[in-house]
Amino acid sequence: MSSRFARNSLFSTLGGLATALGSFLSMVIVARLLGPSGTGTIAYALWLATLAVTIADFGIVQTLTRYLPELTAEGDDRTARDLAAALLRPCLALAILGAVLFGWLGTGAAGPTPDSPTHIWWLIGLLFTLQFVASFGLGLLRGLQRFDTAAKLTVLSFLLQLVAVAAGALADGVEGALLGYCAGSLLPIGAIVAALPRRHAVDPGLRRRVLRFALFSWAGALTVAFVWSRLEVFFLQRSFGAEAVALYTIGFTFSNLASQGPLLLTGGLLAYFSENFGQRRTDRIGIAYTTATRLMAFLLLPACFGLAAILPALLPLVYGQAYAPAVPAACVLVAGAAIGATGSVGSQMIYAHDRSDFIFASGLVGAVLTILSGFLVIPQFGLMGAAVARTAIHAVMLGLGAWFITRRFGYPMPMRELCRLLVAALLCAGAASLCIHLVRDPRSALVLAVASGAVVYIAAVRALGALPQSDIERLRRLLGRIPVLVRGPMSGLLTLLAPRRA
């Protein structure tokens, strides 16, 4: 893989970790200051704003990340910027339209939850507008391969959001906390003004390609939103109220925390795949797909299964005993996150091949299954039913994606290595769980569980030969881009991970 891809992936991971950590810590602050009922209202409002962004997007942000790298790889920087400028106009129009609709709801409709005032809609509308325009700014920077700037803005936004959410929750409860979340979307908006020139005409042929891709991406995002954007929250609110939403969201934040770090290593993949697709280098795409899938599983499986094993001690320690009933569902959500996140590499490659139509078709299947589970499973089984249904549907989606990639593009998933990594991760989780159940003090138990789980996982990966020597060598080459103090220990760790026969 190219040095640009490695650099982009590192900065994308930094930005993604800031986003995931900001979401997690903000929810901890809200949970501690507002209690289960207030937390449920905040979680439901955030879900509505995020879903509204997906609905209003029309594939614009995905199109930026897909086509700008291809155009810049061909040396056509002016066309890339002109395309971005052309996409900005509908983005701003949709942002204003959404704000007006939310404002209208705030004039007399009932609140988003039974116990929230109607003017909460105004704050949700403000949050939607800022998040939508900020996502365009970050998508523009990533499409122009300026992942370093995007990462810096994301880290600063994370810090601003934490301070604003805490201050807002203390000063004005739910409404103040929502204003704090709004503050976290302000900084990336400046990237739009700084990066775009005046708009010029876009070539009609390129416009047709972009329009088809954007519409299918948007349709796919809408269907996939039913699977990935916590539609279970709506059914839980409908059947069990705000506290059930809070408990489910607590579990979901842990699953996000476990998966987002490794998942965001794929942030540079779409740009890398698109660049090579434009240059017709299919051999590089195939190698990158299998390597990235293995490395994702290598990182995701122990993170998700290990975190699920220690949640009985960790969740009450972080959020308080009032949220202890969330532990069983949270364990299922965290473990299941590894399934869906592992397929993210394949999704990026499908987008790079202009096959967003398949994303739409597979998402439609997942959407139907999600709605059926919402009416048939969640009202009967509550939190646990929502968690199990989500995990099962993600497994179906992963299977459909792997089948399509193998049949259409001829790139099979590395199943042998994935199975070995799964065995190693289960052994890691078993060791961690044993510490949690044998040691009474939760803090001591967590330290021992993390240490023993890590040792067992490293030993199992080496003994099973779960990570090929070629992947070890690629990781060694990436070490040249990290600080010297970290490079030595990481190099020693890679030596331990190498297969014994190597």
Reported as a single tens digit per residue, the pLDDT across 173-190 is 889 999 999 988 888 887
Query: Could you tell me if 197 and 228 lie in one domain?
Result: no
- Tokens 């003994």 belong to 463
Q: Model confidence at 268, in pLDDT bands (50, 70, 90)?
A: very low
Please report which confidence band the pLDDT of residue 279 belongs to, taking 50, 70 and 90 as the band edges: low
Question: Does 8 map to a domain?
Answer: yes
pLDDT at 270: 44
Residue 8's pLDDT band, with cuts at 50, 70 and 90, is: low
Q: Which residues lie closer than 8 Å to 482 by C-beta, 6 or more apart?
A: 10, 490
195 and 274 part of one domain: no
Q: Nearest to residue 170, comparing CAs of 38, 37, 64?
A: 38
Domain assignment present for residue 489? The answer is: no
Which of 414, 433, 448 terminates a domain? The answer is: 414
Are 336 and 230 found together in one domain?
Answer: yes
Model confidence at 168, pLDDT cuts 50, 70, 90, reads: very high
CB atoms within 10 A of CB 371: 13
Is residue 255 assigned to a domain? Answer: yes
User: Does the residue 446 lie in any domain?
Assistant: no
At 486 the pLDDT is 53
439 inside domain: no
Length of the chain as a residue count: 502
Does residue 455 belong to any structural domain of this protein? Answer: no
Same domain, 261 and 136: no
Same structural domain, 105 and 79 = yes
pLDDT above 70 covers what percent of the chain? 78
Question: Is the predicted pLDDT of residue 7 greater than 70, yes or no?
Answer: no
**Domain termination residue (choose one: 356, 381, 414):** 414
Structure-token pair, residue 290: 């299998």
Nearest of 335, 326, 334, 336 to residue 382 by alpha carbon: 326
Q: Is the domain of 120 the same as that of 74?
A: yes
Give the angle 187-191-196 at the CA atoms, nearest 5°.
Answer: 160
CA atoms within 13 A of residue 89's CA, in its CB half-sphere = 8
Is the same domain home to 196 and 217?
Answer: no
Residue 456 domain flag: no
CB 166 within 8 A of CB 180: yes
User: Does residue 267 have a pLDDT over 70?
Assistant: no
Task: Give CA–CA dist 232/230, Å, rounded.
Answer: 5
Q: Report the alpha-carbon angle 402-407-411, nearest 5.
A: 65
- Whether residue 495 is contained in a domain is answered as no
Cα 404 to Cα 406: distance, rounded to the nearest angstrom: 5
Q: Is 421 a residue whose pLDDT tops 80?
A: yes
What is the CB neighbour count within 10 angstroms for residue 459? 16
| Tally of CB atoms within 10 A around 439 | 16
Both 182 and 285 in a single domain?
no
Q: Is the pLDDT assigned to residue 310 strictly greater than 90?
A: yes
Question: What's the pLDDT band for 238 if we cut at 50, 70, 90?
Answer: confident
- pLDDT, tens only, 71-84: 776 666 777 777 87
Number of domains the chain is built from: 2
Look at residues 255, 31, 20, 316 and name the one whose alpha carbon lies nearest to residue 165. 31
Which tokens is 455 given? Answer: 């040792």
Residue 281 pLDDT = 62
Residue 155, pLDDT > 90, answer no
In this structure, the answer to whether residues 150 and 183 fall within a common structural domain is: yes
Q: What is the pLDDT of residue 433?
A: 93
**443 contacts: CB under 8 Å, gap ≥ 6:** 317
Give tens-digit pLDDT for 331-369: 999 988 888 777 777 777 777 676 767 877 887 888 788
Whether 277 shows a pLDDT value over 90: the answer reads no
CB atoms within 10 A of CB 79: 18
| pLDDT score at 474 | 66
Higher pLDDT, 423 or 475: 423
455-489 pLDDT, tens digit each: 999 899 888 888 777 777 766 665 555 555 555 56
pLDDT tens digits along 117-150: 677 888 999 999 998 988 888 888 877 777 777 7
| pLDDT of res. 1 | 46
The reply to whether 214 and 196 lie within a common domain is: no
| pLDDT the model gives residue 338 | 84
Averaged pLDDT, 287-313: 86
> What is the residue range of 355's domain?
210-414
Question: Are 8 and 267 within 8 A, CB to CB?
Answer: yes
What tokens appear for 406 in the block?
A: 């193998």
**Spatial separation of the C-alpha atoms in residues 121 and 99, rounded to whole Å:** 10
Same domain, residue pair 186 and 223? no
Question: 182, 202, 222: which is the final residue of a domain?
Answer: 202
Residue for token digits 């790298």?
Answer: 69
What are the pLDDT digits (tens) for 28-69?
Answer: 899 889 888 888 889 888 888 888 888 888 888 878 877 777
Per residue, what are the HEC states of 428-473? HHHHHHHHHHHCCCHHHHHHHHHHHHHHHHHHHHHHHCCCCHHHHH
Q: Calculate mean pLDDT across residues 5-31.
A: 74
- Contact call for residues 478 and 6 (beta carbons, < 8 A): yes
**Same domain for 34 and 170:** yes
Q: Is the pLDDT of residue 194 over 80?
A: no
pLDDT of 453 over the 80 cut: yes
pLDDT > 90 in the chain, percent: 16
Residue 199 in contact with residue 339, Cβ under 8 Å? Answer: no
Tokens of 143: 């499409």
Is 224 within 8 Å of 359 (Cβ atoms)? yes
444 φ/ψ angles, rounded to the nearest 5 degrees: -65, -40
Cα–Cα distances in angstroms (integers) from residue 10 to residues 16, 211, 241, 263, in the given order? 10, 31, 40, 12
